[in-house]
Structure 1
Amino acid sequence: MAERARIQTAFEPVARALAGKRWFPLWAVIHHRGRKSGTEFATPIAVVPTSDRSIVLIGLPWGTTTNWARNVVAAQGADLTWKGRTIRTTDPRIVDPTEAAALARPAFRFIVKRMPGAIVLRTA
């Protein structure tokens, strides 16, 4: 657990600097509100390319109980700053690696299958 926290802490400044930029489409920022605190958060995430443009797939390499993912599911959606613009997403659900891999483009299936799960959202 301590190793995971160290990796996240080291990675976060780089992700924050690049996430959501038009010229860096792999990373985005998901804007969500805490389930209990009501605090607004902006979390950098990596978007997995899918064949369906109405679906946003985000891998959960740190597990399916990640707080931001639970916040998004509880709120039934979130805003996503991605490719230089903000879009509204709805209908979030956490899926297993097999379903996530089926939604991902072929080049990304290998990676998604090795994650504990993913979150799927629809663009509004």
Structure 2
Amino acid sequence: MKALGTVAAVIGGILALLAVPLVVVIVGVRSGDRRFIRALTRLQRDVVNKGAMQVAGQPGAPYAVVEHVGRRSGTAYETPVTPIRDGDGWVIALPYGDETAWARNVVAAGSAVLRFDGERRAVEGVEIVPIADTALAGQQPGVIKLFGIRWAVRMSDAA
């Protein structure tokens, strides 16, 4: 019986160690602290996105790719995103706020290419909108509330 208590304590400790980074991320994102957000977006760009880009845009993949051009640099970029259908277009949550670089680039250009489920789609009419005004509000209310997400990018399929 004592061995079970020790195993339970070890498992509990491991779970606590795994929960701490998640809590830090949630609190940091909700706080809107620019230094924290910058550090987190660098980590995402340099580590997480590299893995996501291995499958993003392919048939059946959970991620799509937004192809866009830097508004000042003119450099071509590819950013993995998770869009959902919203009427005749798409919406993408902006958990790091409305100053997210890829979103600002796409809004400035007014158009982009969305690679989703093995297809390249031209999109236009790009705008940043309150997330409450999108299909995401009804589909992911728990995540939106947990992270305090206020903004989303809305874009329409090009004619």
Same fold (TM over 0.5): yes
The answer to which of 1-10 and 59-68 deviates more is 1-10
CA distance in 1, matches of 2:118, 2:44: 26
Query: Which of 85, 91, 94 in structure 1 is aligned with 2:119?
Result: 85
% same residue: 29
Summarize the Cα distance change of 1:60–1:27 in structure 2 as closer, same or farther, 3 Å threshold: same
CA distance in 2, matches of 1:7, 1:30: 16
Gaps of 5+ in 1: none
CA distance in 2, matches of 1:104, 1:122: 15
Larger Rg: 2
Residue 109 (structure 1) aligns with = 141
Summarize the Cα distance change of 1:62–1:107 in structure 2 as closer, same or farther, 3 Å threshold: same
CA distance in 1, matches of 2:137, 2:58: 21
Residue 99 (structure 2) aligns with = 65
Residue 31 (structure 1) aligns with = 67
Is 1:6 equivalent to 2:49 in the alignment? no
User: What amino acid does structure 1 have at the position aligned with 2:149?
Assistant: M
Task: State how many pairs are aligned.
Answer: 119
- 8 Å Cα contact 1:72/1:92 also seen in 2: yes
- 8 Å Cα contact 2:59/2:117 also seen in 1: yes
How far off its partner does 1:105 sit?
7.3
Residue 76 (structure 1) aligns with = 110
**SS of structure 1 residue aligned to 2:59:** coil
Higher RCO (CA 8 Å, separation ≥ 6 residues): 1
CA distance in 1, matches of 2:129, 2:45: 22
CA distance in 2, matches of 1:42, 1:94: 19
List 4+ stretches of structure 1 deviating above 2 A: 5-10, 103-114
The structure with more helix, counted as a fraction of residues = 2
- 8 Å Cα contact 2:56/2:64 also seen in 1: yes
The structure with more strand, counted as a fraction of residues = 1
User: What amino acid does structure 2 have at the position aligned with 1:44?
Assistant: P
TM-score norm. by structure 2 comes to 0.67
- 8 Å Cα contact 1:49/1:108 also seen in 2: no
CA distance in 2, matches of 1:118, 1:105: 10
Query: Which of 47, 51, 61 in structure 1 is aligned with 2:83?
Result: 47
Q: Please, what is the CA RMSD of the aligned residues? A: 1.9
